[in-house]
Amino acid sequence: MVLTTFRSEALNGLCSKERLDLMDSIDSLRSQGINHFVSLPQIIVCGDQSSGKSSVLEAISGVSFPVKSNLCTRFPTELVLRRTSHTSASISIVPHHSRSDSEKEAFASFHEELESFDGLANLMEKAKSAMGINTLGKAFSKDLLRVEISGPDRPHLTIVDLPGLIHSETKNQSAADIGLIQEVVESYMKEPRSIILAVVSAKNDFANQVVLKLARSADSSGNRTLGVITKPDTLYPGSESESLYASLARNQEVEFRLGWHVLKNLDSEAGYGSLAQRDISEMQFFEQGIWTELPTSVLGIDQLRTRLSKVLLNHITTELPSLIEEIESKRNACHERLKKLGQPRTTLFQQQLHLIRVSESFQRLVRNAVDGNWNDTFFGDAEFHYGYLRRIRAVIRNLNDKFAKDLSTHGHRRHITYSAEESVSPHCIPVTRDDFIDHIQIKISRSQGRELPGLFDPMIVAELFRDQASRWEELARSHVHAAWKACHEFLKHAVAHVADAGTCTAIMQKIVQPAMDSLLATLDSKTLEILRPHQTIHPITCNHYYTDTIQKFRKERKLILINQALRKFFNVKELCKVSCGMVDLSGLAMVLVDDNSEPDMHRFAASEALDHMNAYYKVAMKRFLDDVAVEIIEVVLVSALPAILSPVKVYEMAPELVARIAGESEEAQNQREQLTRQLEVLSRGAETCKEFAVTKFNGLAEEDDSDQEDEPQHEFDAVESGSFDEIDKARSIESFAESMTHPPSPQLEAHPAELEPAVPEPEEQPVISDVEYDPFGFSTGKKKMSKKAKKRSRVTSYDDPEVGLPLA
């Protein structure tokens, strides 16, 4: 095996101590396995099958891999290049998360190290066999092969080579293989911190190569994609195809934020040569023809190594703040899940202790909900449905209000109408007052006793009331059951919040559900008890509102009759202020007296009975509403919720029940172990990132400033290209480093919306004039910028001539 020696001043410039530490920090996170939980900055090599991806990888690394022209990459390969004082190589397997625990352990034991590169080919074959990949090319794997190569002249770079995308089935590649490869490639592309190295072969029309479609789908803005054109020597000089690919290299056909690069690799069919010969052949090729018209910064492997190292470095620098934030977020979530699982519980004491702690949290949460205290994060945002369901006091209040409205609008069987246009609930029978009186008159005539004419038996009112209130039981049961369901749903959320999934299920099945079933039976019984006086006992009330209502009914009817008499007497359609002459007052008084009399004694009695029934109905309905809300919903249901799961109940439980509820399943034990490992990895990762951010971040930014101050100005310098979005990134990075050095107080963190400086300091801003936009998507007008803004813009700009977009 041959290892090419690199001699590049550009690479030396990228290997300062701070930059090496930054790269090593990310590699440390990756080696700890944190990439299973968060997306890490990395470069992935993607392309169609036989597009030359592996040759690109060889040229970048300087290591000749054993690649045959009729074979292809059958698993993701992570190539880690690091600058060290000695030369070494090692190979390990990172199992896919879908592998079983036994397979993961077997793969973890596979780790081979070499002091020389001669045995690398054999080690790779052993790794393929361990992954179950045969040598006939019929299988692919989601497992990752990690190849680490170190040397005194290696670039600091990490690249993942992915299997080539397949267009159609062959005898060695099934439809399942095609789907598996595309799934693997898309999963890597969709990682938000992956730099996509999209390899396109000049042998085929680039519009037909799947990699560009997938790259656009995963990175629609093209901000993290760098295109690489391979096999340019297959194009006929002066042909339209050659001109088209040259235009592609200028970023004019398919635009990527990071631009394009062109490589000429060795032709595997023509025989194998050394990588040194490959570099010489490539240099000679780009010194002729149309390729001389392109900037040298986009041609050849030396420039690509430098470009990739700088792209990855800038990408890591930019993503570090959000990476730390994501790690912290997932670490907190992991901690909360472990908190729900509690401590290991194998003994009765441990199980009781766990349940007591759960019951204390449960009671605190339920009492807050019942009292209407929404300070706990459990209650969420009331604007969302899930947040509203957890605010049980608000839910019960609204259900009570709905019940009151339903009872008022359609709780009575017959609704008296006074006009044909009056709307009536479909649940009620519309009836005029005269028709209702006729109905009552028949009842009175068939139930007459020893009362005098014009009077009625008091039990007529009871009979009329029970008929009018016959729908109360249906409405009350519906309301009570709706409140019970709301409480049941609330308890499910509350238990799930304070206990792990296994314990939550057991608590719901063994404690909450039986308690709620018992409560429902008690609620039904209490509802019948509250209804019984209104259904069986004669009307009783000491409320003066009863007689007040009767008098009000009579006044309302008398006013109607008087108005009718006055309109008839004065021969007017509407009563209003009218100036008139002499009026026969005695005649007016006689008219009023005559129009108010009811000659039919039985009808008079029926009218009086109707007034008494309506008055009593109103009094009884108000009492019934209060009884349902207080005696049933509040006393029986709501006030019982905190006691469903209490420390006292846990203490009184039988040991067998405690074991069934709090006893830990094998699944829970495995979950705790997994979460514990995950928490350890995330915690180490958070400390690694924070340590670098606090101690070295500012030094790295200053070093980038000084490095780029010494570089000659280029036509696509960050400032001259108008890449002010990168200036904003640089400012946010500096602000992040400052915040890591001087963290805000806890009080300020708790209320970020209130953080507004009393007198904000003025900040120099770039002045833009006569801005135009070129075909590449960058502004080309002249800008006037302060030195401070220009300095900041160079920290992470992708428009550097060695990194970003070339000049057409």
pLDDT tens, 297-345?
999 988 998 888 888 888 877 887 888 888 888 888 888 888 777 777 7
Asked if 241 and 135 sit in the same domain, the reply is yes
pLDDT band with cut points at 50, 70 and 90 for residue 759: very low
Report residue 468: phi and psi, to 5°. -70, -35
CATH number of the structural domain spanning residue 113: 3.40.50.300
**Do 579 and 621 fall within a single domain?**
yes
Q: Are residues 178 and 244 in the same domain?
A: yes
- Given a cut of 60, whether residue 745 has pLDDT beyond it is no
pLDDT for res 709? 45
pLDDT of residue 73: 61
* Residue that finishes a domain, picked among 643, 662, 681: 662
| Residues 526, 567 within the same domain | yes
Tell me how many domains the chain contains.
Answer: 3
Kindly state whether residue 798 falls inside one of the protein's structural domains. Answer: no
State the average pLDDT for the chain.
76
Instruction: Check whether 486 has a pLDDT greater than 60.
Output: yes
DSSP state of 153: T
Given pLDDT bands bounded at 50, 70 and 90, which one contains residue 783? very low
Residue 672 pLDDT more than 80? no
pLDDT of residue 770: 41
Mean pLDDT across 8-24: 55
Residue 254 is classified by DSSP as S
Q: Rounded to whole angstroms, how far apart are CA atoms 205 and 64?
A: 28
Whether 315 and 370 share a structural domain: no
Do 642 and 681 sit in the same domain of this protein?
no
Binning pLDDT at 50, 70 and 90, where does residue 176 land?
confident
**What pLDDT digit, counting tens, does each position of 406-428 carry?**
999 988 888 888 766 677 778 88
Quote the pLDDT of residue 16. 53
Do 725 and 635 sit in the same domain of this protein?
A: no
Please indicate whether residue 623 or residue 114 has the higher confidence score (pLDDT).
623
pLDDT in tens, 553-567: 878 777 877 777 777
Q: CA-CA distance, 395 to 373, in Å (whole number)?
A: 13
Confirm whether 551 is domain-assigned: yes
* Whole-structure pTM value: 0.51
The Cα 261–Cα 244 span in angstroms is 14
Q: Is the pLDDT of residue 674 over 70?
A: yes
The answer to the question of residue 199 being in a domain is yes
- Token pair, residue 773, equals 């936009």
Q: Is residue 61 a contact partner of residue 79, using CB atoms and an 8 Å limit?
A: yes
Q: Is residue 467 part of a domain?
A: yes
Query: For the chain, how many residues are written?
Result: 808
> pLDDT digit string (tens) for 276-303?
788 888 899 999 999 999 999 999 988 9
Q: How far apart are CA 734 and CA 539, in angstroms?
A: 80
Q: Which residues pair with 229 in a beta bridge?
A: 200, 262
The predicted structure's pLDDT at residue 98 = 72
Domain around 52: 9-14+42-326
Instruction: Indicate whether 496 pLDDT > 90.
Output: yes
Output the DSSP codes for 216-251.
Answer: HHH-TT-TTEEEEEE-GGGSPTT-HHHHHHHHHHTT
- Residue 260, CA distances (Å) to 253, 304, 318 in order: 11, 10, 21
- How confident is the model at residue 778, as a pLDDT? 33
Same domain, 154 and 107: yes
- The model's pLDDT over 684-721, given as tens digits with 9 standing for 90+, comes to 777 777 766 655 555 555 555 544 444 433 333 333 33
Please give the share of the chain, as a percent, with pLDDT higher than 90: 25
Selection from 28, 32, 81, 30 nearest residue 58 by Cα = 81
Which range has highest mean pLDDT (457-461, 465-469, 516-520, 779-783)?
A: 516-520
Evaluate whether 226 touches 198 at the Cβ level (below 8 Å). yes
Residue 427 belongs to some domain of the structure: yes
How far apart are the C-alpha atoms of 263 and 283, rounded to whole Å? 10
Q: Are residues 319 and 388 in the same domain?
A: no
Give the pLDDT confidence score for residue 512 in this predicted structure: 95
Do 56 and 200 form a contact (C-beta atoms < 8 A)? no
The pLDDT value recorded for residue 748 is 36
State the average pLDDT over residues 776-783: 36
Reply yes or no on whether the pLDDT at 164 is more than 90. Answer: no
Q: At what angle do helices 348-371 and 472-498 cross, to 10 degrees?
A: 130
**pLDDT at 55 > cutoff 70:** yes
The verdict on 471 and 598 lying in the same domain is yes
Compute and round to an integer the Cα radius of gyration of the chain.
42
User: What counts of helices (H) and strands (E) characterise the chain?
Assistant: 27, 13
> pLDDT digit string (tens) for 609-626?
998 998 999 999 999 999
In a domain, 336, yes or no: no
Final residue of a domain: which of 662, 692, 727?
662
Answer yes or no: is 338 within a domain: no
Residue 354 confidence class, pLDDT cut points 50, 70, 90: confident
Residues 508 and 571 in one domain: yes
Res 15: pLDDT: 52
Examine the fold and report which residue of 276, 310, 326 is the final residue of a domain before the chain moves on.
326
Identity of the residue numbered 758: A
Which range, of 207-211, 466-470, 709-713, averages the lowest pLDDT? 709-713
- Higher local confidence (pLDDT), 635 or 104: 635
Contact 715, 70 (CB under 8 A): no
| Whether 626 and 751 share a structural domain | no
Q: Considering the domain boundaries, does residue 106 fall inside one? A: yes
